[in-house]
């Protein structure tokens, strides 16, 4: 019964207009395949025969017009790129702010981009709903007038849940400070134990169905989830991933935190099916470009701190990327490379990208600044 329901569930994903404005098309994560490499083919076959196929080589995705420069060129800040791009897609955590406030130089850079007439769209893997994301930005020092749009994986996953058959239920891996039941509001999906659920939702890294804190976010210990994951795999339940990031950085700028993407990796390892929403999937980028309301030939660049989500996703979507190093998830790795930032920053970034099976970014910079 669960297997039949799961097949129907996965088939609904291709028709979710509310998810990515064009329908969600989840694909494999960065590292398992490399669709940005010449001649690579990315294909994901759903149980009802639908196939997502993207060839990057002779039939690459349509690229938005941009100024061509040497891959991984190091720039001092956004001022070096302002004349070359019309639309700036912006990751938030580790780029614009630390989860509490804008980074010191970010406000000036954002204000100058806006003053130059650039379209700014937040493109995030946060599992929050879109309106919650937008509402919290002013409190972090972000002027709402700067923003042309916002797209987040939590909103897309919420839309996917709302598209499930009536009477569906979910076991939710959630946050200690954000109720799982509150996230499900408006979807028609109810909370249920794994023995009765139809889908697993990887929403946060702290709890199971709003139960006791697991400690996973700080420890990375998956043991508190082991029984739930094994039971879900045994019942062939799909896992919807509202935030595919594996790691994040705490507000202190140093402490690594474990995110739902790591739980999803374990679910795959156990043999489960994971449906991801957000970066690095190209539809997430296309939705952000649409939200900008820019011309079809607009020159687009994505600014992010993750090689596997931001840089890889931008490459798969056919847009340029600016990799922000010193406030993001790869900061420690680059700091350990003597070539960063003065000796040979391009080589240091390329080596880090190669270790993660990711493409080189178009540009790199130390922090989000003008």
Quote the Cα angle for 225-230-231, to 5°: 105
> Is 149 part of a structural domain of the chain?
yes
15, pLDDT greater than 60 = no
> Is 201 part of a structural domain of the chain?
no
> Is 97 part of a structural domain of the chain?
yes
> Is 104 part of a structural domain of the chain?
yes
Residue 26 has a pLDDT of 33
> Is 115 part of a structural domain of the chain?
yes
Quote the Cα angle for 135-164-274, to 5°: 80
- Write out pLDDT tens, residues 302-330: 999 999 999 999 999 999 999 999 998 99
> Is 251 part of a structural domain of the chain?
no
Range of the domain at 88: 73-155+279-365
Q: How many domains does the chain have?
A: 1
Residue 240 has a pLDDT of 98
Higher pLDDT, 251 or 112: 112
Confidence of residue 66 (pLDDT cuts 50, 70, 90): very low
Structure tokens at 37: 């490499």
Give the domain CATH number at 298: 3.40.50.1000
> Is 188 part of a structural domain of the chain?
no
* Rounded Cα distance, 129 and 219, in Å: 26
> Is 229 part of a structural domain of the chain?
no
Query: For 11-15, 132-136, 307-311, 330-334, which range has the lowest pLDDT when averaged over its residues?
Result: 11-15
* Rounded Cα distance, 80 and 165, in Å: 50
Residue 254 has a pLDDT of 83
- Write out pLDDT tens, residues 242-261: 999 999 888 888 888 999 99
Higher pLDDT, 251 or 24: 251
């Amino acid at each position: 019964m669960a297997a039949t329901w799961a097949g129907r569930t996965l088939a609904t994903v291709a028709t979710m207009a509310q998810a990515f404005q064009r329908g969600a098309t989840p694909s494999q994560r960065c590292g398992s395949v490399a669709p940005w490499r010449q001649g690579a083919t990315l294909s994901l076959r759903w149980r009802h025969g639908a196939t997502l196929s993207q060839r990057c080589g002779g039939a690459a995705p349509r690229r938005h017009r941009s100024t061509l420069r040497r891959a991984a060129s190091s720039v001092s800040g956004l001022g070096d790129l302002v004349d070359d791009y019309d639309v700036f897609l912006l990751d938030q955590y580790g780029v614009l702010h630390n989860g509490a406030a804008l980074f010191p130089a970010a406000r000036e850079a954002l204000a100058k981009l806006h003053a130059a007439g650039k379209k700014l769209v937040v493109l995030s893997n946060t599992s929050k709903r879109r309106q919650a994301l937008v509402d919290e930005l002013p409190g972090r020092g972000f002027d709402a007038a700067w923003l042309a749009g916002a797209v987040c994986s939590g909103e897309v996953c919420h839309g996917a849940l709302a598209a499930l058959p009536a009477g569906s239920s979910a076991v939710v891996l959630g946050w200690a400070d954000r109720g799982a039941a509150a996230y499900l509001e408006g979807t028609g999906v109810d909370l249920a134990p794994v023995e009765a659920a139809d889908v697993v939702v990887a929403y946060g890294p702290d709890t199971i169905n709003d139960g006791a804190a697991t400690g996973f976010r700080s420890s990375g210990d998956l043991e508190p989830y082991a029984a739930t994951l094994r039971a879900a795999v045994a019942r062939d339940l799909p896992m919807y991933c509202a935030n595919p990031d594996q790691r994040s950085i705490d507000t202190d700028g140093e402490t690594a935190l474990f995110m739902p993407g790591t739980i999803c990796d374990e679910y795959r390892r156990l043999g489960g099916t994971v449906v991801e929403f957000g970066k690095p999937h190209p539809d997430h980028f296309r939705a952000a470009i649409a939200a900008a309301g820019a011309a079809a030939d607009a020159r687009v660049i994505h600014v992010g701190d993750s090689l596997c989500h931001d840089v890889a996703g931008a490459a798969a979507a056919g847009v340029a990327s600016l990799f922000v190093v010193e406030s993001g998830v790869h900061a420690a790795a680059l700091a350990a490379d003597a070539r960063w930032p003065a000796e040979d920053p391009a080589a240091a970034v390329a080596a880090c990208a190669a270790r993660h099976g990711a493409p080189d970014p178009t540009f790199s910079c130390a922090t989000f600044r003008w």
